[in-house]
Structure 1
Amino acid sequence: MTTIVDFLRARLDGEERTARAVGPVRYYVYRDPRRWEARHDDGAVLASGEPDLRDHRADALVDHNGHHVPGRVLAGIEGRRRIVDLHADRHDAASVATLRALALPYGDHPACDPAWLEPVDVEAPTAPPAYDPDATVRVALSYPGVNGNATSLTVGLEAVRAADELVLMYDFNRDGWSVRREDFPDDELAFIGAYDDRSWVDDGKGGEVHVSWGITPPG
């Protein structure tokens, strides 16, 4: 079965053969006191009319045909080929919409499937939310350790600078939160009591110090 990609490539190949067969061309406007003519450089008359300064049809025809000389047509074909190749093996909505848009000029071709001319709804990307330094993400561990529930929470950072992931777990034996680095799970950075406003932290010398909500040991 012919796919939209096959269809588009066949049309572009045909347009390329036609453009190369035409070869280099030039268009110009000829004027005399009685009339004007828009001509191909082989002398063929594209259009003509009575002299009238208000009638810019001749110049418009020359400009229009100038946009369709073989050199520019071939460049456009190559550009559309690259777009087709980029989306040929993708099936997301944006790629489908892109290929269908390229098929629109060929809607009257007998090999064109009418379904290829139908628009595709593509959701516009949403802008990221504005930075809020006070934004908080709240996570609750539901009955950790019971029935296979999660027992710890790992917190990481995705930003310009990387940071070690921290692991926060609840220690039921001591009734409080234990904070550790993920890469060094056996080394506790701090212990925060569940109800006390004072916490035990590593003093850096093999012991612990009872401080008020601190996690950095004293020097």
Structure 2
Amino acid sequence: MSQATLPVFQLPEITRPRRLPGRVAGLYRTMEDGFVTTAVDRLDLGFDGIEGDRHGGFTRLSGGREPWYDRGTEMRNERQISLLSPDELAGVAEGLKIAELRPEWIGGNLLVEGIAQLSLLPPRTLVFFENGVTLKVDGDNGPCRFAGRSIAEHAGGGIDVELGFVKLAKKRRGLVAWVEKPGTIVAGEGFEAHLPEQWIYPG
């Protein structure tokens, strides 16, 4: 009897895991029902995110980002925390021809320094903070007209800024993450982002 041979399995090119250091440059949270956040010295995080924050909670209701569900369907909240980069915000502001783009205007929670092209960090990246908090990145945060409208209201520019933000902020609008290990993050705290192995699915 001839022994059956298995087809040769060839792995795609795999990028090894990496670790990148960074620092918390600013912390923000919503104080009321609105979208805009307010600067704070610390964030107390539970498994449901920032207690009382607009984007906190174990679950959330689906919206335009989830067309596969009826709008308003309850689902897992993977968008508890919004991370932003000052470099990316400055680049978008320059493209919009406005003096600045503040994290508060687009509902940011963490402004972080030290990681180039923050918005391109891959899903499953773990962010380990010095005081013990761990966040798990879900992915990049797609820009929307709602955030663009908030920028226009604060910086001026009207509809050109509102629509321009959606175009110019693609892959530069930061990340969304959820709390894997709760605790407290303070301003100025260091962290280390652990990027997983990465590959392009070949199938």
Name the structure with the higher helix share: 1
TM-score when normalising by structure 2:
0.19
Larger radius of gyration: 1
Name the structure with the higher strand share: 2
